[in-house]
């Protein structure tokens, strides 16, 4: 049987020069498996990326071509302990595995569709032939359930990139279909990095008590994730003091994210356009990563535990109610007992802020709907961190071994370097004040004064 006849019988659409995994499985192709290890430079000289809570897809070398195989399929995904959902992803996970290659490599990517509907894959930001761009109906037929397609092209650039469907895109993105595609420069980097992290930002609409994301939601998302996890289930980013760290950030959510890193001034050094010339690097502490954008930030690691998060406050929370009454300052005495007659277990909250929420949920006082996370989670060495969602910690230590990505625990602060209490007296000291302090009854609405000549 001729090669193309064999492939046609297998239902694979393939350019004439492509040699697929199917051929290898019947003994007509010799291949070797290749996989880079984060923390140790690859045979091609680059420092492999580390994808927190994720993984890098091994490739096979087939006649000098790097061959990857992605499978689009329904998966069981855990956002954090206590919340599991039926999502869609690649090769068992969301985000799908990170693809990693080098500028100039010839790559072949097999895509098998095990979803209940057709799909395709768009290689976001890559320069390639139009017919490989992955737009269902425009540049290729859809990949129907059960079919395997092949994409093959030579990498003409370097940088931080993504892959995602361009078929029923609103549904398939909302269900978790996305992944990172990292292309390293062929000539190496004049300023090398010691650790290279890759993070994909996303949002989900998981209604309380449900087990599948809702793809019809446009703005009121309730889970904001890094690599499809929420804090405190997002892995910490670990570094050794003095190492140069790069964090590659891609945004496939439906919102822009001002990403903020504590403890350092980082440099914004690149995007899906590759690593920029050094004279274009700029110092920041917060960088907006727009929808569909990629940004690379780099910094020299300094000792400590440093928060790394989106600076939109509601993006660092887990499921929240929308359109609920504002109870700040509202006297709720007595109302709790009355409402409990209708809603057993009800607790009046919010009069003094929401900081108590985590204590109540951690103690089991406020049981939410099944399969729904608490709004605030995570406990640090000094108490509740009161964060969720798009938040994690950069942990830098003097004694982290090169290539060690294991969590070192909480930072042991040198003596005298932790903020501490010096008084419990609210009238302590003589602080300068301006303006007017709120007093009891000051929340009453003002009464308008009407002039005698006022006409209705």
pLDDT in tens, 333-368: 777 778 778 877 676 666 665 656 666 666 666 666
Return d(Cα 173, Cα 165) in angstroms, integer.
7
> Across residues 379-386, what is the average pLDDT?
89
| CA distance linking residue 69 with residue 57, whole number of Å | 8
Q: How many residues does the chain have?
A: 456
Q: For residue 7, is pLDDT > 60? A: no
Higher pLDDT, 212 or 28: 212
Most confident of 17-21, 273-277, 449-453: 273-277
Within this chain, domains 3-191 and 237-397 share the same CATH topology:
yes
CA–CA gap between residue 101 and residue 183 (Å, rounded): 5
More confident residue, 9 or 343: 343
pLDDT of residue 446: 65
pLDDT of residue 44: 85
Provide the 8-state DSSP code for 83: E
* Bigger pLDDT: 33 vs 67: 67
The answer to whether the CB of 377 falls within 8 A of the CB of 392 is no
**Assigned token pair, 393:** 């910690």
Q: Distance (Å, rounded) from C-alpha 94 to C-alpha 79?
A: 10
Nearest to 163, CA basis, from 187, 128, 138: 128
3-state secondary structure (DSSP) of residue 220: coil
φ, ψ dihedrals at 45, nearest 5°: 95, -5
Beta-carbon contacts of residue 265 (< 8 Å; ≥ 6 apart): 283, 284, 285, 299
User: Alpha carbon 196 to chain centroid distance?
Assistant: 15
CATH number of 3-191: 2.60.40.420
Share of the chain above pLDDT 90, in %: 65
Of the pLDDT bands very low, low, confident and very high (cuts 50, 70, 90), residue 276 is very high
Domain ranges of the chain: 3-191, 237-397
Does 155 have pLDDT greater than 80? Answer: yes
Q: What is the mean pLDDT of the chain?
A: 86
Cite the beta strand spans of 35-64 per DSSP E: 59-62
pLDDT in tens, 217-242: 888 888 999 999 999 999 999 999 99
**419 — phi, psi (to 5°)?**
-55, 135
Beta bridge partners of 59: 34
Query: Could you give the CA distance from residue 20 to residue 12 in angstroms, rounded to a whole number?
Result: 9
Which band of pLDDT confidence, cut at 50, 70 and 90, is reported for residue 15?
Answer: very low
pLDDT in the model for residue 232: 94
Helices (H) and strands (E) in the chain, counts: 5, 24
Report which of 227, 234, 220 is spatially closest to residue 320, judged by C-alpha positions. Answer: 220
Residue, of 286 and 323, whose pLDDT is higher = 286
Q: To the nearest 5 percent, what fractions of the chain are helix, strand and coil?
A: 10, 35, 55
Report the C-alpha gap between 392 and 237 in whole angstroms.
8
The answer to whether 247 and 294 are in contact (CB under 8 A) is no
Residue 366: what pLDDT? 62
- Alpha-carbon span 221 to 225, nearest angstrom: 11
Tokens of 188: 């190496």
> How far apart, in whole angstroms, are the C-alpha atoms of residue 194 and residue 239?
9
pLDDT, position 27: 37
Alpha helices (runs of H) in 10-90, residue ranges in sequence order? 21-25
- CB pairs under 8 A, 24+ apart, for 398-404? 398/240, 398/241, 398/303, 399/240, 400/238, 400/239, 400/240, 400/241, 401/240, 402/39, 402/194, 402/240, 403/37, 403/38, 403/39, 403/40, 404/39, 404/238
Ranges 107-116, 262-271, 446-455: which has the least confidence = 446-455
Q: Are 252 and 166 in contact (CB under 8 A)?
A: no
136 three-class SS: strand
Does residue 18 have a pLDDT over 60? no
Q: Average pLDDT of 243-249?
A: 98
Residue 245 confidence (pLDDT):
98
CATH code linked to domain 237-397:
2.60.40
Nearest to 350 by CA among 368, 330, 336, 370: 330
Q: What pLDDT is attached to residue 414?
A: 96
Q: Please determine, for residue 16, whether its predicted confidence score (pLDDT) is greater than 50.
A: no
Lowest-confidence region among 1-10, 113-122, 140-149, 171-180: 1-10
pLDDT of residue 22: 41
Site of tokens 């290729």? 140
Please check whether residue 119 is in contact with residue 174, taking contact to mean a CB–CB distance below 8 angstroms. Answer: no
Q: How far is Cα of residue 66 from the mean position of the Cα atoms in its chain?
A: 27
Q: What is the pLDDT averaged over residues 88-102? A: 98
Calculated CA dihedral for residues 360, 361, 364, 368, nearest 10 degrees: 130
Are 158 and 182 a contacting pair, CB within 8 Å?
no
CA separation, residue 400 to residues 247, 248, 299, 395, 411 (Å): 18, 21, 17, 10, 12
């Amino acid at each position: 049987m001729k090669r193309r006849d064999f492939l046609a019988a297998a239902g694979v659409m393939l350019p004439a020069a492509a040699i697929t995994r199917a051929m290898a499985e019947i003994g007509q192709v010799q291949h070797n498996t290749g996989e880079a290890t984060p923390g140790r430079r690859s045979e091609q000289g680059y420092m492999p990326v580390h994808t927190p809570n994720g993984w890098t897809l091994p490739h096979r070398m087939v006649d000098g071509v790097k061959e990857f195989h992605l499978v689009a399929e329904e998966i069981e995904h855990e956002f954090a302990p206590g919340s599991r959902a039926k999502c869609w992803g690649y090769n068992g996970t969301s985000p799908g595995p990170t693809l990693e290659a080098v500028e100039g490599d010839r790559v072949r990517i097999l895509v098998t569709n095990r979803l209940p509907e057709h799909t395709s894959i768009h290689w976001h930001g890559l320069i390639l032939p139009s017919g490989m761009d992955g737009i269902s109906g425009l540049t290729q037929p859809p990949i129907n359930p059960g079919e395997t397609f092949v994409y093959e092209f030579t990498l003409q650039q370097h940088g931080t990139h993504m892959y995602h469907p361009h078929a029923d895109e609103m549904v398939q993105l909302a269900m978790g279909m996305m992944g990172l595609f990292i292309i390293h420069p062929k000539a190496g980097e004049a300023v090398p990095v010691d650790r290279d992290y890759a993070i994909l930002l996303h949002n989900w609409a998981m209604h309380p008590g449900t087990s599948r994301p809702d793809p019809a939601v446009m703005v009121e998302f309730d889970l904001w994730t890094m690599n499809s996890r929420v804090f405190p289930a997002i892995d910490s980013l670990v570094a050794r003091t003095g190492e140069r760290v790069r964090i590659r950030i891609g945004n496939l959510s439906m919102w822009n994210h001002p990403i903020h890193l504590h403890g350092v001034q980082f440099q914004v050094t690149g995007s899906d356009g590759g690593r920029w010339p050094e004279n274009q690097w700029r110092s920041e502490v917060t960088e907006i990563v727009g929808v569909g954008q990629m940004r690379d930030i780099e910094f020299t690691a300094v000792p400590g535990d440093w928060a790394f998060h989106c600076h939109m406050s509601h993006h660092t929370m887990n499921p929240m109610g929308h359109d609920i009454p504002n109870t700040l300052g509202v006297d709720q005495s007595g109302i709790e007992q009355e409402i409990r007659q209708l809603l057993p277990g009800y607790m009046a909250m919010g009069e003094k802020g929401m900081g108590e929420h985590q204590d109540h949920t951690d103690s089991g006082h406020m049981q939410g709907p099944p399969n729904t996370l608490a709004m605030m989670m995570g406990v640090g060495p000094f108490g509740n961190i009161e964060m969720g969602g798009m938040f994690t910690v950069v942990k830098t230590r003097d004694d982290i071994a090169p290539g060690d990505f294991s969590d070192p625990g909480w930072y042991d602060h040198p003596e005298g370097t932790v903020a501490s209490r010096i008084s419990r007296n609210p009238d302590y000291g003589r602080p300068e004040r301006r303006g007017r302090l709120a007093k009891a009854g000051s929340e009453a609405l003002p009464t308008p004064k009407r002039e005698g000549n006022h006409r209705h």
